[in-house]
Structure 1
């Protein structure tokens, strides 16, 4: 959380005051990703993105993760 706050503006929203990083002012806009689809150099990259390509997918037919 602290690392993200160094690069992105953080707002607290909703009745539970959930923290959110503001990446743009319009739907689908991310001001921190260049036209080439790459995060700007030296910017915090969220853990959700950093985990790729090592993402588990559930295979319900065989009751396992792949």
Structure 2
């Protein structure tokens, strides 16, 4: 009989729990999509970095 008296509170708690869960799930999916968009490389090509600088001589290395 006590359950019937508190049915409204139980229903509201279930609705709030469902709302919070769905909002957290949506936020997690958005964060995952944003992360994947940042780290994807188009065309499956290797990223190449070219460094053009003169090498230090032995004397310059010793001075450092």
More strand by share: 1
Bin of the TM-score, shorter chain as denominator length: under 0.3
What TM-score, normalized to structure 2?
0.19
More helix by share: 2
Greater C-alpha Rg: 2
